[in-house]
Amino acid sequence: MTKITAIIPTGNEIHNIDDVIASVNFADEILIVDSFSTDGTFEKAQQLATRVIRREYEYSASQKNWAIPQAKHEWILLVDADERVTPDLKKEILDTLKAPEHTAYWIGRMNHFMGERVHYSGWRNDKVIRLFKRDFCKYEDKHVHAEIKVNGSVGRLKHKFYHNTYITFDKYLEKMNRYAWWQAKDYDKKTGKLTPYHFVIKPFWGFFKHYIIQFGFRDGLVGFTIGTIQAYVIFMRYIKLWLLRKNRI
């Protein structure tokens, strides 16, 4: 059997750490990459994981690219703290690694928000590259929504992660505000002069796309909330970019 390292980035994830580590207990090495948690995550991880390393957090892609070369084994399963490897996904991963046909694999996610499973709203076909060979893969240098670039072929697993990024509504809005700041930095180089198009049309389109085109209305209030937050994040992205360019951050 091909050996595997499970990498889990953490930052104040005491509410997740037990369950996420338990979901990857089949890995030959469980490597926690902690960004100096202050809620007991680091101490708990030391009790449960194979290895715990620490680094100040810059942004997700930077943290993961730093961690990947430190894995002991060639194959890596990267799992965020708010994700879980289901029993079916575990079996598929182990079966796949008996004779891997690709360099990396997409894994879908069953997303949950505000206590409800999200079936539409632009989250239906959510997938991430998380099972891959260490020396052939690296995240693109983006602050938000960076994906792995693979030097080789990419397959797809049938089973999905369980994913629940929601803790409380206020915490989620805090996260979206951080994302808006990071997106402002990413968009600075590729965005020209800011106009009403960025502050009015694009936020409206974000809501319309998630709620109407991607059938968010079929997710009820959860879908309406996702569409509204998407519009808010787009608006805040360009407000923060405007502030960034005027050195008023």
| Mean pLDDT of all residues in 148-170 | 96
- Does residue 61 have a pLDDT over 90? yes
Asked which of 112, 142, 164 is the last residue of a domain, the reply is 164
70 and 106 housed in the same domain: yes
43 and 149 housed in the same domain: yes
91 and 209 housed in the same domain: no
Of the candidates 220, 192, 73, 57, the one whose C-alpha atom is nearest the C-alpha of residue 65 is 57
173 and 139 housed in the same domain: no
- Does residue 248 have a pLDDT over 90? no
158 and 179 housed in the same domain: no
How many domains does the chain divide into? 2
Q: Judge contact between 157 and 106, C-beta under 8 A.
A: yes
Asked which of 112, 132, 164 is the last residue of a domain, the reply is 164
| Mean pLDDT of all residues in 200-214 | 98
145 and 213 housed in the same domain: no
What sign results for the dihedral spanned by CA atoms 43, 49, 51, 53? negative
Say what percent of the chain tops pLDDT 90. 95
233 and 140 housed in the same domain: no
Q: What is the pLDDT of residue 249?
A: 77
21 and 144 housed in the same domain: yes
175 and 133 housed in the same domain: no
Cα–Cα distance for residue pair 223/213, rounded to 1 Å? 12
Note the pLDDT tens digit of each residue in 26-50. 999 999 999 999 999 999 999 999 9
Q: Give the Cβ contact number of residue 193 at 10 Å.
A: 7
Note the pLDDT tens digit of each residue in 76-93. 999 999 999 999 999 999
- Determine the structural domain holding residue 104 and report its residue range: 4-164
Please provide the distance, in angstroms rounded to a whole number, between the alpha carbons at the two ends of the chain: 52
SS3 51: strand
Asked which of 115, 132, 164 is the last residue of a domain, the reply is 164
160 and 47 housed in the same domain: yes
Banded model confidence at residue 145, pLDDT cuts 50, 70, 90: confident
| Mean pLDDT of all residues in 208-224 | 97
Banded model confidence at residue 52, pLDDT cuts 50, 70, 90: very high
